[in-house]
Amino acid sequence: MKNFFYLTLTSFIFSSILWILWHFLDTHAFFLAGKGAFFYLPHAARVLCVVYFGYRAIPGVYLGELAGPYVITPDMYAFSTLIPSFISVISVAFAIALLNSLGLTLGHTRSSPLNKRNYKHIFLITFISACFNALVVNLYLSRNNLSFSNAITDIEQVYRFFIGDILGTVIVFIFLATLLLPLLRQARIQ
Amino acid sequence: MKEFYKNISDALSMLDGLEQDLNIRHLTPNELKVFYTIIIRSYQNNNGSNISDIVENSGMSRSTVYKTLKKLSAEGIIHLSQSDEDGRESLVLLNS
C-alpha cells in the first residue's frame, strides 16, 4: 500500500511537471511556440512510469495528464479530455501487453526478452505506444467530431501525434541522462 | 519501499546505458567534482581561480586536479592563463 502511494505520487508529480514544462515551451518559448505537438514531453512520463512501476502507475499518470488541462489551463481544450487522456495513458500498457503476447516479456535481467535496463527496448515500447496513441486517440476524436483549436483531426494530426510522442520521449530521456545522472553522481560523492 | 527504489534503480540503469552510448560521459566522478568546483569558483571570481583554490575546494589530490585541467583544456572547456600578480601562478577560466 505504501509502495502504491509512493509510485502514484511520483507518477503524478513527474507527469504534471512534464505537462507544465511542455505547455510552457509550447506557449512561451519563442522558437518552439505552437510547435508543441512535435515534442510532446508528457509521453515520456507515461512510458517511464508504466514500464518501471507497472500498471499500478496508471492512476497517477492519468491524474497528472488531467491536472494540466483541468486545473492549470481549464480553457485549453474545447472538449473533455477524460477519454483521450485515458487512451494515451493505456497506450504504454497496450504496447507492453502486445509485446508480451509475442513472447517478449518485460524483465530487468540480460536474459529478459525485453530488458527494462536497456534503453533500446524502452524505445521499442515508446514507438509502439506512440503508434497506438496516435491512431486510437485520433479515431476517437474523428468519430465524435472533436478537434483541437486551429487543427483538423486528420492524417496529419495522426502523424503529429506519432512524431511528437517519440521526439518528446527522446528529449526527456536525453535530458535526464545528461543532467539528472551527473547530479546524482555528484550527490553520491558528497 | 524497497520495490520502489528497485524500480527507480532500473530506470537509472537504463539512462546510464543511454548516456554511455551517446558518449556524453567522458568525465569520471572525481573529474566531475573538479569541474563542478571550477564552475562554482568561476561564479565567485570572474577573473579565474587559481589551481590551489580548486585543489582545496574540490577535496581532490593535486595530481587529479592537474590531470582534469589538462583534459578540460584539451577539450576546449577551460583555458589556463598566467596570473598578472604572480607569474608562477596559473588561472583557470571557463570558456564561454
ipTM: 0.82
A173: closest chain B residue by CA:
B15
Residue B2 domain flag = no
pLDDT of residue B45: 74
Residue B5 domain flag = no
A189: closest chain B residue by CA:
B29
CA B41 to CA B75: how far, in whole Å?
A: 20
Residue B88 domain flag = yes
Range scoring the smallest mean pLDDT among A131-140, A155-164, B62-71: B62-71
Q: Structural domain of residue B83, as residue ranges? A: 27-94
Residue B52 domain flag = yes
How many angstroms separate the Cα of B22 from the Cα of each of A122, A161, A165, A174, B17?
Answer: 16, 26, 21, 9, 9
Mean pLDDT along residues A145-171: 89
Smallest CA–CA separation between A137 and chain B, in Å?
A: 28
Q: What is the pLDDT of residues A102-132, one digit of tens each?
A: 999 988 887 888 899 999 999 999 999 999 9
Residue B36 domain flag = yes
How many distinct structural domains can be found in chain B? 1
CA A141 to CA A158: how far, in whole Å?
A: 11
Task: Flag whether residue A5 sits within 8 Å of chain B, measured between CB atoms.
Answer: no
pLDDT of residue A51: 95
In the predicted model, what is the mean pLDDT of chain A? 89
Looking at per-residue pLDDT, the higher value among B77 and A164 belongs to: A164
Let me know if A117 is exposed, middle or buried by CB neighbors in 10 A (0-12, 13-18, 19+): buried
Of A52, A178, A189, the CB nearest to B7: A52
Strand-pairing partners, residue A115, are: A107
C-alpha angle A172/A174/A11, rounded to 5°?
35
Q: Per-residue confidence at A183, pLDDT binned at 50, 70, 90?
A: confident
- For the record, the C-alpha cell of A39 comes out as 515534442
C-alpha angle A128/A130/A133, rounded to 5°?
110
pLDDT of residue B25: 61
Smallest CA–CA separation between A96 and chain B, in Å?
A: 16
Residue B57 domain flag = yes
CA A10 to CA A70: how far, in whole Å?
A: 19
Q: Would the pLDDT of B26 be above 70?
A: no
Range scoring the smallest mean pLDDT among A55-69, A125-139, A142-156, A165-179: A142-156
Q: What is the CATH number of the domain that holds B81?
A: 1.10.10.10
B8: closest chain A residue by CA:
A52
Mean pLDDT along residues A125-145: 94
Q: Would the pLDDT of B34 be above 90?
A: no
3-state DSSP call for residue B78? Answer: strand
Maximum Cα–Cα distance across chain B: 58
Residue B14 domain flag = no
Contact between B17 and A118 using a beta-carbon 8 Å cutoff: yes
Q: Which of B23-27, B30-34, B62-66, B71-75 has the highest mean pLDDT?
A: B62-66
Contact between B21 and A176 using a beta-carbon 8 Å cutoff: no
Q: Would the pLDDT of B91 be above 90?
A: no
Residue B62 domain flag = yes
